[in-house]
Chains A and B, each alone.
Chain A
Amino acid sequence: MGGEEIDMTIFKGISTAKLGIVEGEALVTTDLVAFWGGTNWETGEIVEIGHEARGKNVAGKILVFPRGKGGAGDTFGYYYLFKSGKSPKAMVCNRGMGQTVAGALLGNTPMVYGFEEDVVALIQTGDILRIDTDKGEVEIVKRSE
């Protein structure tokens, strides 16, 4: 504990599919996320009442959240979001929920989850992330100002 900063910018998890490397801006929420009913699949906006990220838009972002929730049809919500061109660029979760994983596969979205660290607490909205889906790695390449 000598005050030296430990490099905590690379997190290792499970990748749902090998889809190469993507880079993008993080949108972080500490609340669980639902796509069917919780997010407007035509616009990408989180609409759930009482949700911490209500009003934020997931389209094109790297969505960082603890885990998915919602009904079992959440996968189709994600699929419709993808078909509307409003899906996130990638998803990073502390825990993988079956219906979120299936949505990522159907929507061809890179997804990495199951880290030792609580990544939701360590990544901030606006951070630039690089996701290596072949290695299952998430790297913070630039901190938000």
Chain B
Amino acid sequence: MLTGKEGRGVQKAMEIIVGMGEAQGAKELVKISYAHLMPPDVMFMPFGKQGRWAHDLTGELTRDIKQLKVPTTIEPKFCDLSVAKDLQFADDTIEEIRTIQGKATDFYENLGVVPTYTAMPYYHYRARKGQHVSISESIATLWFNTMLGARCERDDGVKSLAAAITGYVPKEGVHLDENRAGEVVIHPGADIDFGHFTDGDWDAYSLAASRKCKDKLPVFTGIPLTIGQTDLKHLHAVIAVESGLALMHLVGITPEAPTLEAALCGRKPLAEFTIEKKDLDEAYDLANTATGTDVDFILLGCPHLTIREFRDLTEVLDGNKIDPNVTLVASTSRLLFEQAADMGYIDVIQKAGGSVATEMCIAFAGTQATGTIATNSIKAVFFYAGFTSDGSRMVRFGSTTDCVRSAISGKWEGRK
């Protein structure tokens, strides 16, 4: 591939894989069986000058590529244009997005990319333990390593595309056995009651944990065996962003952590931390940058809403109307949208005056809205608070139920 026998595009992709391998100190490459893409011209504000940069960046890499070597899925689009006006995009910006994002999605679909458009590709492709893959999405990377025991580094959009084109990644980081051992231990304190956790509490627990473990690979003890897909999503999503980790272990739950000793690979931990209720309170305080009761937007679905979140949402919303001064947008994948529609959930939301968007990244698309945004995702808070000129966009964070109650009353109903 490096000699150019398979064309200039493949050659350039292989140069990127080898260059990343050298930069990351890898001694060899390893074959992958799956890739998940994050093209910038699909997702990273595809308008204005950055839209042109994104388009040029991947255009150069994909020019003569006709096929990919492994099954490949893809991240959400930047914006579902049916809700672009609700999120305060100007008409000319919407047209720009339509052009750049549309060209990009056409290109990847023609290459045979499965049009999943979600940050939760584990609903579509489940890797096996020990399988090497390349994923460019922080929660999905953490999920594939942690929950499935697959092997994947913190690959970016360019590297995962080059990996899909060549079928290889550098064998480094958590692709290697020696880098998969837990380094620090996170225990729940005596005043932590998982039995009464809301989905918001799992986000807060995840933020509190990441502030303790920082960049060290954590092993969580005491997580209940009964934890479901939705709470696991919340636990993964926040720490994936806040600690930049590719892997963690949940004792008794994840495949490489049958016991604490196994998760630590027999080593002594560098540190042990206990998360108490006061740490959760601190996490809630950090995630709530707004004061007062104003709420202008309720943006849900970072990562995409699950069926249980739709259930929580509609339980509160059923028979009520959303306050006319509040815009509610719920975002999910097409797969889960169809299921939620079959279950009557979409109908309830629309009748109450809310919108349901599909295949979009509400964390990025929501960053153009002005006013106070309420969300059930600390991952989204990170982006909403970050993407303002002075870092001061007002954000409210709470459980899905808190957010929906606020949508009805028009005032923030969660923790102050």
Contact = CB atoms under 8 A, between A and B. Distances in A.
Nearest to A42: B389
B233 interface: no
Given A49-B286, A98-B159, A70 B215 contact: no
Nearest to A45: B391
Contacts of B382: 34, 37-38, 48, 70
A73 B45 CA distance: 11
A45 B391 CA distance: 10
A68 B23 contact: no
A104 B141 CA distance: 21
Contact of B53 (A67, A69, A79): A79
A40 interface: yes
Given A32-B244, A95-B215, A97-B244, A76 B157 contact: yes
A102 B156 contact: yes
A139 to B, nearest CB: 21
Contact of B44 (A16, A32, A76, A104): A76
Contact of A79 (B22, B57, B241, B387): B57
A50 B385 CA distance: 11
A69 to B, nearest CB: 3
A: contact size bracket: 35 or more
B396 to A, nearest CB: 13
B138 interface: yes
A103 interface: yes
B158 A70 contact: no
A20 interface: no
Given A37-B387, A48-B382, A83-B53, A72 B154 contact: yes
Contacts of A99: 154-156, 244
A11 interface: no
A54 B241 contact: no
Interface string B200-224: 0000000000000011000000000
Interface string B371-408: 00000000100110111111100000000000000000
Contacts of A97: 154, 215, 244
B391 A47 contact: yes
Contacts of B153: 98
A79 B387 CA distance: 16
A105 B23 CA distance: 8
B284 to A, nearest CB: 13
B25 interface: yes
B40 interface: yes
Residue from B44, B137, B157, B391 whose CB has the most chain A CB atoms within 10 Å: B391
B173 interface: yes
Q: Which 9 A-B pairs have the closest CB atoms?
A: A69-B244, A47-B391, A75-B156, A37-B386, A98-B154, A16-B23, A102-B156, A67-B215, A37-B383
17 contacts: A37-B382, A40-B386, A40-B391, A54-B391, A67-B215, A73-B136, A83-B49, A96-B24, A97-B215, A98-B20, A98-B24, A98-B159, A98-B246, A99-B155, A99-B244, A101-B24, A105-B23
Interface of B: 19-20, 22-25, 38, 40, 43-44, 49-50, 53-54, 57, 135-138, 141, 153-159, 173, 214-215, 240-244, 246, 286, 289, 379, 382-383, 385-391
